[in-house]
C-alpha cells in the first residue's frame, strides 16, 4: 500500500491578524451556548450512531480564527452564507495546556478572541466544532501522558466553548500513536458529555484509508470509543491519472468499502458516517488542482451518496492571491486560482445531505 500523504495545512505558522476586528470582538468574553439542541442519550456502544445525520452541521468549512489573515465572521456569513465552522487548531503549548496553534500567548483558558468569534457565529444562527491537531505543532495526545490528563485537557476546550462537536485531526507522527491514551480519553469524554459528536480526520492514499488510519478505527472500536464521522482528507494523495474529480470519487468509494469491512455496515450506512473534505485551489501536491468546477462536481457526488458532511480546507484561502505579492504554491491565505471571494464556500453551503 502506498504511504499516506498528509496535508501540510498551508502556512499554519504564519499568523496575520485582523487587529481592528479583534479589538471589537475582544469585549465579548463569554461564550454563549448554541441555540440548536444536541441532547442525545448517553452512548456506551463502540460504533457510531446510526444514522449519523446532523441536519444542523452538514457543510462545515475549516477556518483558522487567528492565522492566515482571517476574514471577519460577519463578512463570511453575509457574503457566503456559511454558518458552520471547524475552528483550527488547538494544540499543546506545553505541560498539557490547550492553546490555539499551540501558542503559549493564546491559551484556551484565557481566550477572549476566539470566544468572541464563536459568539458571533452562534448569534448568526450557526455553530462550531473545534479541531485538535493538524499536521504541525504538538498534539495534546502526544504529551498529556495519560487518558485522564488528556480527557481533562479536551474537556477544558469543550467547556470553554460549550461544544457539542469536536474534530480529531491526528496527522503525521500522531496518527497511529499513543492510541490507548487517546481513545481512552475520547471514551471518557463521550461518557462525560452525552450527545458530543466526534469526527476523526484521516489523510488519504490513492487507495483510500492508510493502514495507520485503519489502525486508529480498530483501536477506537476495541477501546469502546465512538467515532461518529470519519472525515477523509480527499486530497494530497497525488493525482497520477484522470481528473481530480474522478480521483477524489475513487478514493471516497474505496473508503466506503473499507468502512463496510471495519464496521460491518452496508454502503449507505458507511456513507452516512463519512465526511468528504476537499481543498480549494492548489493543494500541497503540484499534480492536484481543485477548481470551482471540481467542487461543483464533488458536491453532486456527495449529494448522490448522502454523506454526513461535505467540508473543505480552508475558508482562509477562499480568495484570489494578490499578483503583486509572492505566494507559496499552496498559500495559507489564498487559493492561487482565479476566483471571486468565497466562491468555494458558496458551493459547499449548497450541500443538504
Q: Which three cell numbers stand for residue 92?
A: 499543546
Closest by Cα among 93, 108, 287, 277 to 200: 277
Beta carbons of 46 and 225 less than 8 angstroms apart: yes
Closest by Cα among 114, 116, 182 to 149: 182
Beta carbons of 9 and 63 less than 8 angstroms apart: no
Which DSSP helix (H) or strand (E) runs through 79? helix 73-80
For residue 171, indicate whether it is catalytic.
yes
Q: Which three cell numbers stand for residue 302?
A: 456527495
d(CA 314, CA 112): 23
Q: β-strands 165-170, 98-100: how paired?
A: unpaired
Q: Please count the residues of the chain.
A: 353
Looking from the CA of 119 toward its CB, the CA atoms found within 13 Å total 16
Closest by Cα among 231, 204, 225, 218 to 288: 204
Catalytic residue, chosen from 82, 117, 139, 171, is: 171
DSSP letter (8 states) at residue 315? G
DSSP annotation string for 195-238: T-EEEEEEE-BTTBS-HHHHHHHHHHHHHT---SEEEEE-SSS-
**What amino acid positions are annotated as catalytic residues?**
171
Amino acid at each position: 500500500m502506498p504511504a499516506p500523504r498528509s496535508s501540510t495545512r498551508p502556512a499554519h505558522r504564519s499568523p496575520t491578524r485582523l487587529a481592528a476586528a479583534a479589538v471589537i470582538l475582544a469585549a465579548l468574553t463569554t461564550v454563549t451556548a448554541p441555540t440548536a439542541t444536541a441532547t442525545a442519550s448517553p452512548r456506551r456502544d463502540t460504533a457510531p450512531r446510526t444514522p449519523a445525520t446532523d441536519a444542523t452541521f452538514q457543510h462545515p468549512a475549516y477556518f483558522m480564527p487567528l492565522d492566515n489573515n482571517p476574514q471577519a465572521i460577519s463578512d463570511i456569513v453575509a457574503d457566503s452564507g456559511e454558518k458552520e465552522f471547524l475552528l483550527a487548531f488547538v494544540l499543546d503549548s506545553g505541560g498539557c495546556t490547550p492553546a490555539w496553534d499551540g501558542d503559549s500567548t493564546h491559551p484556551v483558558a484565557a481566550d477572549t478572541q476566539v470566544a468572541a468569534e464563536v459568539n458571533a457565529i452562534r448569534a448568526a444562527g450557526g455553530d462550531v466544532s473545534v479541531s485538535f491537531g493538524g499536521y504541525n505543532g504538538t498534539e495534546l495526545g502526544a504529551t498529556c501522558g495519560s487518558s485522564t490528563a488528556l480527557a481533562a485537557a479536551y474537556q477544558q476546550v469543550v467547556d470553554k466553548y460549550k461544544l457539542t462537536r469536536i474534530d480529531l485531526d491526528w496527522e503525521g507522527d500522531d496518527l497511529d500513536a499513543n492510541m490507548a491514551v487517546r481513545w481512552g480519553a475520547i471514551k471518557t469524554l463521550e461518557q462525560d458529555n452525552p450527545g458530543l459528536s466526534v469526527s476523526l480526520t484521516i489523510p488519504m492514499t490513492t487507495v483510500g484509508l492508510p493502514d495507520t488510519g485503519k489502525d486508529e478505527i480498530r483501536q477506537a472500536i476495541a477501546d469502546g470509543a465512538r467515532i461518529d464521522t470519519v472525515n477523509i482528507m480527499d486530497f494530497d494523495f497525488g493525482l497520477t491519472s484522470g481528473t481530480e474529480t474522478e480521483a477524489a470519487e475513487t478514493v471516497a468509494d474505496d473508503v466506503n468499502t473499507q468502512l463496510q469491512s471495519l464496521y460491518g455496515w452496508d454502503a449507505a450506512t458507511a456513507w452516512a458516517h463519512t465526511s468528504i473534505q476537499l481543498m480549494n485551489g492548489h493543494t500541497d501536491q503540484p499534480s492536484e488542482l481543485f477548481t470551482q468546477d471540481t467542487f461543483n462536481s464533488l458536491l453532486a457526488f456527495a449529494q448522490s451518496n448522502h454523506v454526513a458532511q461535505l467540508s473543505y480546507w480552508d475558508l482562509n484561502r477562499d480568495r484570489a492571491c494578490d499578483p503583486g505579492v509572492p505566494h507559496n504554491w499552496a498559500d495559507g491565505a489564498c487559493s492561487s486560482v482565479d476566483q471571486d471571494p468565497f466562491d468555494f464556500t458558496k458551493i459547499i453551503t449548497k450541500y443538504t445531505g
